[in-house]
């Protein structure tokens, strides 16, 4: 009778795998989708990691395993860093940046030019500009871009606060550092219309050939934008 207590499996006509196992003298079908190789605590860790951007279930399992193997060197410091982040990180009430102080480090930095306000959609864009040391201005984080298809309207963005900041007499230029996508450019036009009566110069990032880019590899939209916005050499 060996093997009788083991699970048996079969295929349906559609080719789907079905597996049965004995439970209390009855054969019950196992739910293969929820079958797991580890305890619920590890499964929970994997499920949470899989929710991170860029991580699918497979890479989440690898990340979880890596964390477990590096318990002292990585998992515990990461856990402690998450606890501190939960406790201390706030959204800056002036610009929408995230920091452990409010107003944020950028807003209170006296070396920053108060005349320039760089409008970005997301904190990730602010970080990208800071990494590049692209500007010495201060920022305004919208939180998103207008997207009628996704139901994101002006009230979902911090546009009202931006208009108020643009009317500050110290501000002379608003730089729209928004994505070169339909939503990004729709948002740029919407903001430009709203700021018509503000005494500021409104500029946007150039579109064109990326640094180190080869013309042959560029798409037609980028190439024609680069040609239209050519500058004096």
Please enumerate in sequence order all residues whose Cβ is within 8 A of that of 17, keeping only pairs 6 or more positions apart, or say none: 9, 10, 11, 32
> What's the min distance (Å) between Cβ of 171 and Zn ion?
14
Distance CA 21, CA 28 (A): 6
Segment lying near Zn ion (by CB under 5 A), choices 53-61, 85-93, 174-182, 217-225: 85-93
Please count the CA atoms within 13 angstroms of the CA of 25 that sit on its side-chain side. Answer: 0
> What's the min distance (Å) between Cβ of 89 and Zn ion?
13
Distance CA 74, CA 65 (A): 12
In the region spanning residues 87 to 116, those forming contacts with Zn ion, defined by CB under 5 A, are 92, 94-95, 97, 103-104, 107
In the region spanning residues 4 to 23, those forming contacts with Zn ion, defined by CB under 5 A, are none
Under DSSP, the state recorded for 34 is G
Closest residue by Cα to residue 69 from 43, 42, 50, 49: 42
Q: Please give the helix or strand (H or E) that residue 116 lies within, else none.
A: strand 113-120
30 near 10, Cβ under 8 Å?
no
Q: Which is nearer to Zn ion, 70 or 93 (CB)?
A: 93
Q: Which is nearer to Zn ion, 60 or 120 (CB)?
A: 120
In the region spanning residues 141 to 200, those forming contacts with Zn ion, defined by CB under 5 A, are none
Q: Which is nearer to Zn ion, 95 or 175 (CB)?
A: 95
> What's the min distance (Å) between Cβ of 165 and Zn ion?
11
Q: Which is nearer to Zn ion, 118 or 226 (CB)?
A: 118
> What's the min distance (Å) between Cβ of 137 and Zn ion?
12
Residues within the interface to Zn ion (CB under 5 A): 92, 94-95, 97, 103-104, 107
């Amino acid at each position: 009778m060996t093997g009788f207590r083991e699970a048996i499996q079969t295929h349906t006509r559609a080719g789907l795998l079905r597996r049965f196992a004995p439970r209390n003298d009855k054969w019950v079908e196992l739910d293969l989708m929820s079958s797991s190789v580890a305890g619920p605590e590890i499964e929970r860790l994997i499920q949470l990691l899989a929710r991170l951007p860029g991580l699918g279930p497979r890479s989440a399992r690898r990340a979880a395993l890596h964390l477990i193997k590096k318990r002292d060197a990585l998992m515990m410091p990461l856990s402690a860093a998450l606890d501190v982040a939960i406790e201390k990180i706030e959204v800056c009430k002036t610009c929408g940046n995230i920091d452990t102080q409010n107003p944020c480090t950028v807003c209170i930095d006296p070396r920053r030019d108060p005349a320039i306000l760089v409008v970005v959609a997301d904190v990730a864009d602010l970080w990208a500009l800071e990494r590049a040391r692209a500007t010495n201005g201060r920022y305004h984080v919208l939180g998103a871009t207008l997207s009628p298809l996704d139901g994101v309207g002006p009230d979902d963005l911090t546009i009202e606060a931006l208009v108020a900041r643009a009317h500050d007499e110290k501000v002379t230029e608003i730089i729209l550092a928004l994505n070169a996508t339909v939503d990004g450019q729709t948002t740029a036009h919407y903001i430009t219309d709203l700021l018509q009566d503000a005494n500021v110069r409104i500029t946007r990032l150039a579109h064109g050939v990326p640094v180190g880019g080869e013309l042959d590899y560029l798409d037609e939209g980028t190439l024609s934008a680069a040609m239209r916005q050519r500058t004096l050499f």
